[in-house]
Chain A
Amino acid sequence: NFMLTQPHSVSESPGKTVTISCTASDGSIASNYVQWYQQRPGCAPTTVIYEDNQRPSGVPDRFSGSIDGSSNSASLTISGLQTEDEADYYCQSYDSRIHVEVFGGGTKLTVL
């Protein structure tokens, strides 16, 4: 089965830059778009990146998304970390072989 693997947790200091990876188990990560969702404690998820690297209006440009074919992974990079960025982050893509959407297991970002 197609799976997306994320680190369980990452931590970094305010003002620094952090990158969260999302690695596809098989196929090509570039074959289907990747989305990234932010979920603050007790809240619903919101979209911070869609279609690999598109940022919704209202999401700061400190958030960026990219795809790396060589590692078959997607990445979410957050620069200038702020305490409000502390949240769970999920990547999501699509297994076109069986028409199923797949989420990564989520990464807990701690800004300390």
Chain B
Amino acid sequence: QVTLKESGPALVKPTQTLTLTCTLSGLSLSTSEVRVKWIRQPPGKALEWLARVDWDGDTFYGPSLKTRLTISKDTSGNQVALTMTNMGPSDTAKYYCAAAVTNGMVYWGLGTLVTVSS
């Protein structure tokens, strides 16, 4: 059974850097064709794709936030991290990680709510 769990601070101050971690179970980051992505959803709004890291280490970023994001993977710990710099109130959102596996199926975590406020 594949599960993903997001973790990180619930509250960050403006201008701070956010670091979120996605821990995978039942799926290895070293497995071919595994791709892990971060998606966010501001309250009442649509899903927004942020970034992705592939099994081979390739990384990809959404164009609007590219300069603020870094995605990385720790294969031995089976975790994927996302850092976002210079947080602002508009970054308040539920942050989800999701994994696409070899057969194309996409698994989602339950998400973690991040509020940006002083």
Contact = CB atoms under 8 A, between A and B. Distances in A.
A100 interface: yes
Q: What does DSSP make chain A's interface, helix, strand, loop or mixed?
A: strand
A54 interface: yes
Q: How large is the interface on B (under 10, 10 to 19, 20 to 34, 35 or more residues)?
A: 20 to 34
Interface in B93-107: 96, 98, 103-107
Nearest to B48: A103
Interface of B: 37, 39, 46-49, 52, 60-63, 96, 98, 103-111
Pick the 3 closest A-B CB pairs, nearest first.
Answer: A51-B104, A101-B49, A103-B47
7 contacts: A50-B106, A56-B105, A90-B47, A92-B49, A100-B62, A103-B49, A105-B46
A14 B110 CA distance: 28
A46 B96 CA distance: 11
B80 to A, nearest CB: 15
